[in-house]
Structure formats: structure tokens, C-alpha cells
Amino acid sequence: MALQITLPGQEGSGRVVGIDLGTTNSLVAYVEKGEAKVIPGQDGGIVPSVVTLDDSGNIVSVGVHAKKNALIDAAHTVYSVKRLMGKSYTDVQKESGMLSYKLAPREEGLVRVRIGNREYTPIELSSFILKELKDRAESYIGETVTKAVITVPAYFNDAQRQATKDAGRLAGLEVLRIINEPTAAALAYGLDRKKNGIVAVYDFGGGTFDISILKLSDGIFEVRSTNGDTYLGGDDIDRRLMELFLTQINRIEPKFEPTPEDLQRIRTDSERVKVELSTKNEATVEMVFAAQNVSYKRRITRQELEMMAKPILERTRKPCLDAMADAGLHPDDIDDVVLVGGATRMPAVKALVQEIFKRKPNDSLNPDETVALGAAIQADVLAGGTKDILLLDVTPLSLGIETIGGMMSTIIPRNTTIPTKARETYTTFADNQTGVEVNVYQGERDFVKDNRHLASFTLKGIPPMVAGLAKISVTFLIDADGILHVTALEEHTGLSAEVEVKPSYGLTDEEIERMLRESIQYAKEDIVGRRLVEAKTEAERVTNATERVLGQIRRHEIDIPEDRLKTLNINQLIDDLYALKKAVAGDDPTEIKAKLDLLEKSTEPLAQEIMNASVAQALEGKKLEEV
């Protein structure tokens, strides 16, 4: 039986929201007066899927501030955690060398991230992001948010779906439904346009790729097929750029050994270059690693990037062709191709999609917001708001059990519409066999050793019989979330055993219960502590930057004329700087924030002057046509 825990504030119905828990960025949306809207924060609608923690396990920041912290405290900042969901250490070990944070080597079980002396599962880290989205929604709507629909890549397996659901529970959310990201995108697309026809949703995000073929017909959204790769996305293109830059830096300085902050700087610049080259023909990367006395600068063209990215993008072709084949369709049968995911902004992606589907893709939707909006629509359907919509999704991978010889006996084939139920009958293979072990697997290979093991349970107490006489009926039930329930029944005796499949790479009910109770016990303390840690971290970042610039001015490393310096009121800036440092020594986050605002206001004229000086220096000696 699944664990059920009611948290304070969850007794009532509460508001239901839709959440896109992304690899790079996450969003939360809701439906108001029939219109789906992304919920904004002070820093915009998108929340970077980044978390910074200290050695004691305190959350320093989540989102925008955490992304900034990655450049100054990379070892304590975790990003792209979605790519770790439902994975073992062996699954992701090859990527660990390019991460600025550490993975804890473990022979079995869920991979863990090590920060200081503590280890965190991807489920826990994802729950911190979901909690941030929950808090944002409550602050904006002015109501308690207790329930959510959360999206996952269509090709997420059972372990990854269960991990996402567990993360929601840890964040204090009742996850009403797990839906596939392309399906959510189709909801937003179809509801807005009231269209009918066959639609392909090409979803290429930061860490995952999905292709889904849907039939839209008078409010019925029927997924015909789905395919993809849960470890393929824009992050892989960033990594190729990182490898290029690191290789060339090592040619300049063979002894160069990047620190976590250096790696994060290279990663950030790689992502920036990729984004710039979506709209420009060339970009410049310039990095200085002062501690190792290494500087690196080069221009990179869109053509170079596309050559590096081509093998990665080509990996999306076969899933698209397979999805069409599974649906019994050809490119001419597709009425529209919708692009979802930030990486689809790349011109090379659009060109490849047009080549595969023989038509120009539809890029009119905001690829960052569509999935969250679709999730909000489904949330409103479940809350009894939006009417006349029926969502028929599919299971992405085949499910079955192990039979003699290590063979995989498929009970539910991939791309079966869910919810669904299927049954197969088996028998014993030895005389007087009194028990049968049922091993559940997920995958497309003929032998179970090549598929993913999900669960095992034993049907005991079968009366001794001649081999082949017992009739054991195995029933698979997949619920609307894509979560599997398995029952085994011996038909002669009525003996039965059942299990809600718990993936190999998830959290136990006991672990979840402990974490939830701790979150309740320490809720107020955590909120106060987090506010203080966030305020101090941001204050220290600003004071360090300010002191560095003042030092450069004293050493004449920044060229600002004396007459201009007199107008900048440097003395007031210094007073505000020391006032902030004094506040940081205390424990009042409100006081720290007030002094931080004063310092930031004092530094604005100086920042503008430095920018003017930098531009003037860059243009010095150049003709107008060279600018």
C-alpha cells in the first residue's frame, strides 16, 4: 500500500497548479478564468533548475541566485539534476568528469550528489526546486497550493516517473497526475487553436528528447505513439563546446587543472555561445583564469557549432522515424510539427525537423512555456474547471516478466494507451513447485538482462502439483500516471500476491516519511535560516565585487578621469559598503537586505561609468565602419 501523509495546510482542496520540472529551467502555471498563465516571480517566470547548499545541508538559494552562485561556489551548486533522476551511479559515471559538483560512487541504488559531508538523492534536490515553485505560486495567487500536475519526458521509465512523484511529495505537493511533456505541449497548442488533425511534438530540451505523435479530435487528445532519449539534449551540445575549449586551453597551458569554478565558468560560456549562435553568425568567448595565469579567447561561428552539434542532433532522427512507424504514419500524414524545448531555437534543429517531416515546423509557441501551460490545463481539468477535454496518453516502454531462460515475456507493449490493464497466464516448470518468483522488467529487448528490472515478489503457498498444472495469472495495471501495479493469482486455489512497483532507483516509504516529518518539524527554522543564508550570500557576492572594483580603481587598472570620480560620491559608496559588512556580521536578514539595497543603489553610477570606460577603450583607434 502506498504511503499517505497529510501535511499541515493540506486538509482542504487548495489550488491545483501545473509544473514543468525541467533540466535547465522550471516553471509553474495555473488557469484563471479559462486562461492558462505562467506564474511570474520578481526575477521573471522561469526558475533555473539550480540549487546551492552549504556543508551543513542548509539551502543557500534556488533558481536565479543559485545560478549566480555556481560561478563562485560551484562545488556546492547542483544543476541538470533531472538527468540523474531514476539513474544509478553506473548510468551517469561517464558524465561525472564534466560536472563541477561531485557524485558519490555507489555500487547500487540511486545516484547521489555529495556536498560537504552529506549526500543527496536527485529526488531530494528536485524537491527543493518544486518547493520553490510551490512557494512562488502561493505568493502570487494568495492561496495555499497543495496539489499539482507535474510533467516528465515521454520516454521516462517507471523509476524516473516514480522518482518525480516522490519529489513532489517531499515538496509538500499531492501529485494528482504525471503527464508526458509533449502531451502537455499538445494540450496548450490544441486548446488554443481548437484544431483537429495529426500533430507531431518534437521536444528537445536541456537534458531530454521526446517525439510524440498525437491525434487531436474535438477535444480528445490521443497519443498514437511516443519515442525518445532521456539522456539527450542541449546539455550535450554545451558539453561538446566545453570539450573544445578545454582542449584548446590545455594546448596553451598543458598543466591547466580546472577548479570547480573554472569548469562552471567554461560551462556557462559554452551555454551562452550556443544561445547567441541561434540568432548570430558568430560569437566570442574570452576567459581569464587568474589563479593559473591562463587566458583564452577565440571566435566561433554558427557553422562550427552546427558541425559539432550534428552528431547529437542526428540522434533525434531515428526516434522520429520510429514514432511515425509505430503510429502507422508517414510524413505526409502529419498536419503540423510543434517545437518544444529551448534547444529547438537552434536553426540547425529547425532545419533537421523540416527535413524529417517534410514540412516547416511550427515555432510560434514559446518553447519554454508551452509544457507548463499544458500542465496547468490538465490540472484545471482534474480540478473540475476546463471541460470537454479527454487526454489519452501511452506507456513509452514495454512491460513484462522474466520467463524460463531469462526471456522477457511482454504483457503490455509500448505505446499502449493508458490507463490500461492486461493479463497473461503462466505455469510452473518443476513438479511440486510451491512458490513462483515474479520479476518485473521494462524495455524492448528479448532478454531481461538487457532491460531494466523494476520489482520482484513471490507468490507462495501453491499446493504441490505436477509441472504445468498450476495456472498463474499475472495482471499488469498501469494507472493514469504511468505507474505500474502487478498482481499474481493461482487460479485453482485463489492464492494471490500483488505489488505497487517500487523502482530499484527510488526512495523507500520509510525514507520519504522521515524526510517529510523532518520538513514539518523544522519548517519554521528552515525558512528563517534560509532567508538569512540567502541574504548573507548575496551580500557577500556584492561586497566582494565592490571591493574588487575599488581596488582596481586605486591601482589605476580601470581608467576613469579624476573629474568623473569626484561626481561618483565614492565616499558614500564606501560608507554603504561597510554598513552592509556590519549587517552581514549580524543575524537579521531584513537589515542585511536593506543595507544591500542601499549599496546597490550607490554602485549604479560607478557601474555605468565603468561600462562607458570599457566601451571607449574597445572602440579606441577604430574606424566607424569597423564598429
Q: Which residues contact 610 (CB under 8 A, 6 or more apart)?
A: 549, 558, 560
Quick check: 315 and 229 in contact, CB under 8 A?
A: yes
In the DSSP assignment, the letter for residue 110 is B
Neighbouring CB atoms inside 10 A of 464's CB total 11
DSSP-based three-state secondary structure for 164: helix
Quick check: 441 and 453 in contact, CB under 8 A?
A: yes
DSSP-based three-state secondary structure for 195: coil
Q: Buried b / exposed e across 329-348, counting CB within 10 Å, b at 16+?
A: beeeebebbbbbbbbbbbeb
Sheet holding 220-229, edge to edge: 336-340, 197-204, 209-217, 220-229, 390-394, 417-418
Measured torsion, CA atoms of residues 158, 164, 169, 174, in degrees rounded to the nearest 10: -80
Measured torsion, CA atoms of residues 335, 340, 346, 352, in degrees rounded to the nearest 10: -40
Catalytic residues: 20, 82, 181, 203
DSSP-based three-state secondary structure for 305: helix
Q: Where are the alpha helices (DSSP H) in 555-585?
A: 562-566, 570-584
Q: Which residues contact 297 (CB under 8 A, 6 or more apart)?
A: 284, 285, 286, 287
Neighbouring CB atoms inside 10 A of 359's CB total 15
Question: Which residues are paired to 28 by β-bridges?
Answer: 19
